[in-house]
Amino acid sequence: MLADHAKAMHRVCFGAEPSDADLQLLGSRERWLVYRDLVRNRLFHVIGVALARTKKAIGEEAFGRAVDEWLSAGGPKTRYLRHLPSELAEFAIPVWRSTEAPWVADLAGYEITSWDVRHAPPDPTPAAEFAFDTKPVLGTAVKVLRLAYPVHNKPTPEAGYEQDPTTLCVYRGKNHLAIPRKLNPLAADLIDAWQRGDQTVAESVQRVAAAHDAEIGPAFIEKLSTLIADFIDRGILLGGHGSP
Amino acid sequence: MSREVTGIGLGLRYDLATELLERRPAAVSWLEVHPENYVNRGGRYQEMLELGRRDWPVVTHGLSTCLGAVEPFDAEYLGNLRAFLSDLEVPWHSEHLCLGGVDDRFFHDLLPLPFTDEAAQIASQRLTEVRDAIDVPLALENVSYYAEQSADGLAEADFVVEVLERADAKLLLDVNNIYVNSRNFDFDPKAYIDKIPAERVVQIHVAGHFVREDGLRIDTHGEPVPDDVYALLDYTLRKIGPVPVLLERDNNVPPLDELLSEIDELWTIYRSATGADDAG
């Protein structure tokens, strides 16, 4: 039966160890082990490109072990090669938190965020220009990342990173690469609020400012204007919805 | 440039896109893209496709809707694919006659179907499902395989023809895959070509492949097209007529000039075999 054949292929390609029974069913032990290598090498390559610094930091062996364990849990759920690294990271980062240096999980999270931002869907076309009395439209390739270690600073120090909490906005720049921009906590919460998209800019500014005990006076408004102009210039903020 | 898909095309790949899109060589008559690389994706890929479409007609070649799937396909993806193909106005779309996943897990590789009546039945049914869902002509592509098939099944060419006939489908004939299979399993590639119903062929693929130390040939799309594959292409075009030919190069991508040399060779064969004098 084709279904039995297919399940045997699945176990041979993704299982921790291919069984003799499956290899016998498929008919050619040596050649099906070739398939196992081809399938796994392709996946390993794509994931290794996305998580290059993480792989280097923990070593090829530990990295390969994480990929092996992830594959033995069933293999990729996505048809898109570009989404493979995120699937691996979802599985591996919790493991690395307990097995690797404390900054490795942050590094992997930063690399995955950068990868996802590069390959995010196309930006929407805003119906109107940015305005305080409408809900804002942000680029699709914008993510706020709160890190305990400044892993965006390259190269990775030989002794690893010292703890230094950092908040970043990672966005897709005009050259299509992911760019990190440091944020203060209030600016990060503003982007979070704008991404939720349930309030106008004015409403979200008032709510976030109140949560941070920040007075909306001339100095605040000047800084906010500078921040918004910078976000628009970088393509983080695209415009506004047509109506409030 | 003509909007008709004819002559010699090239796969639009990330590694060669910058040079290709800047130079826009006239010898390249059309482009092929993998929808999975572009559906719902912005950034450089979106830009590449927009720039490519400006001057070249585009056809699409799927990687993940493999026609041997035991389970029904993901309706949401087929809807996205349909919208993508409609936007590109492709004359046809192609998918592989193989197994690409099991139980909602994807191999990200093309695993061979057994050449059995059951597999032919399932593949023809799936092909019809996909064709109805995307609403454009659908061609299947013959794949390379490395594991010996059971002796009680069909020969590969008979299996491919069986699926084509059952589904009344088009064929993307991969000449390199036939050559690789013929060398790995010791059959006559010309006899395979002779069995193919010419009227069903809408496109041809050529590529290079890797030869391992043990002699096994692996369809890597990472080497130049070898002379034997050029010769088989010549034979195929003389049998089938002026069908558009695509040079596939996905790995070890060289400078564009090296690919253009291969494309020049393909044009020479194409003109000689078909009498065509267009473009190039």
* Tokens at B92, concatenated: 């046809």
Q: Chain B contact for A176, CB < 8 A?
A: yes
| Residue A222 backbone phi and psi in degrees, to 5 | -65, -45
State whether residue A131 is helix, strand or coil. coil
Residue A111 lies in a domain: no
Q: Quick check: A75 and A14 in contact, CB under 8 A?
A: yes
Q: Domain check: are A159 and A84 in the same one?
A: no
Mean per-residue pLDDT over chain A, rounded: 96
Question: Is A220 exposed, middle or buried, given 0-12, 13-18 or 19+ CB atoms closer than 10 A?
Answer: middle
Specify whether A140 is located in the same domain as A234: yes
Residue A10 lies in a domain: yes
Q: Which helix (H) or strand (E) holds B138?
A: strand B138-141
- Whether A81 and A139 map to the same domain: the answer is no
In a domain, A180, yes or no: yes
Is the domain of A131 the same as that of A61? no
In Å, how far from its chain's centre is CA B75? 23
Nearest residue on chain B to A121, alpha-carbon basis:
B41
Task: Establish if A140 touches chain B: CB-CB under 8 angstroms.
Answer: yes
User: Does the beta-carbon distance from B42 to A2 stay under 8 Å?
Assistant: no
Q: Are residues A82 and A179 in the same domain?
A: no
Domains and their CATH numbers in chain B: 8-274 (3.20.20.150)
Same domain (yes/no): A224, A126: yes
Same domain, A176 and A223: yes
| Residue B46, both tokens | 């979106």
Contact: A34, B149; criterion CB under 8 Å: no
Domain end position, chosen among A100, A135, A159: A100
**Residue A168 shares a structural domain with residue A239:** yes
pLDDT tens by residue, chain B, 280 residues? 557 999 999 999 999 999 999 999 999 999 999 999 999 999 999 999 999 999 899 999 999 999 999 988 999 999 999 999 999 999 999 999 999 999 999 999 999 999 999 999 999 999 999 999 999 999 999 999 999 887 777 899 999 999 999 999 999 999 999 999 999 999 999 999 999 999 999 999 999 999 999 999 999 999 999 999 999 999 999 999 999 999 999 999 999 999 999 999 999 999 999 988 665 5
Q: Note whether A43 and A91 are same-domain residues.
A: yes
Residues 6+ apart with CB under 8 A from B112: B98, B99, B143, B145, B146, B147, B149
Q: Kindly list the residues from chain B whose CB atom is less than 8 angstroms away from the CB atom of residue A81.
A: 36-37, 108
Residue A146 amino acid letter: R
Judging contacts by C-beta atoms under 8 Å, the chain A residues touching residue B105 are: 10, 14, 74-77
**Cβ-based contacts of B147 with chain A (< 8 Å):** 26-28, 31-32, 34-35
Domain that holds residue A218: 122-244
In angstroms, the CA B216 to CA A46 distance is: 24
Does residue A184 form part of some domain? yes
Distance from CA of A165 to the nearest CA of B (A): 29
A14 lies in the same domain as A74: yes
Helix (H, G, I), strand (E, B) or coil at A220: helix
Shortest Cα distance, chain B CAs vs residue A36, angstroms: 10
Phi-psi group of B168: left, alpha or beta (phi > 0 → left; psi -120 to 50 → alpha; rest → beta): left
Has residue A35 been placed in a domain? yes
Beta bridge partners of B204: B173, B245
SS3 state of residue A36: helix
Name residues 149-178 of chain B within 8 A of A (Cβ).
149-150
Asked, for residue A115, whether it belongs to a domain, the answer is no
- Could you tell me if A243 and A183 lie in one domain? yes
pLDDT digits (tens, 9 = 90+) for A109-167: 999 999 999 999 999 999 999 999 999 999 999 999 999 999 999 999 999 999 999 99
**Into how many domains does chain A fold?**
2
- Reported ipTM: the value is 0.93
Exposed, middle or buried, A213 (CB in 10 Å: 0-12/13-18/19+)?
A: exposed
**How far apart (Å, rounded) are the C-alpha atoms in residues A209 and A147?**
22
**CB contact A32 to B (< 8 Å):** yes
- A28 with A54: CB under 8 angstroms? no
The verdict on residue A109 lying in a domain is: no
The minimal CB distance from B119 to the residues A2, A26, A79 is found for: A2
Tell if the CB–CB gap between B42 and A172 is shorter than 8 Å.
Answer: yes
The answer on A229 and A172 residing in a single domain is yes
State whether B146 and A34 contact (CB < 8 Å): yes
Chain B hits for A178, CB-CB cut-off 8 Å, are none
Residue A34 forms part of a structural domain: yes
With a cut of 90, say whether residue A62 has pLDDT above it. yes
- Residue B3 DSSP label: S
Q: Which of A75, A173, A25 is nearest to B47 (CA)?
A: A173
Cβ of B146 within 8 Å of Cβ of A140? The answer is no
How far apart are the C-alpha atoms of A42 and B221, rounded to whole Å?
Answer: 13
Beta strand pairing call for B201-206 and A237-240: unpaired
Contact B206/B246 with Cβ under 8 angstroms?
yes
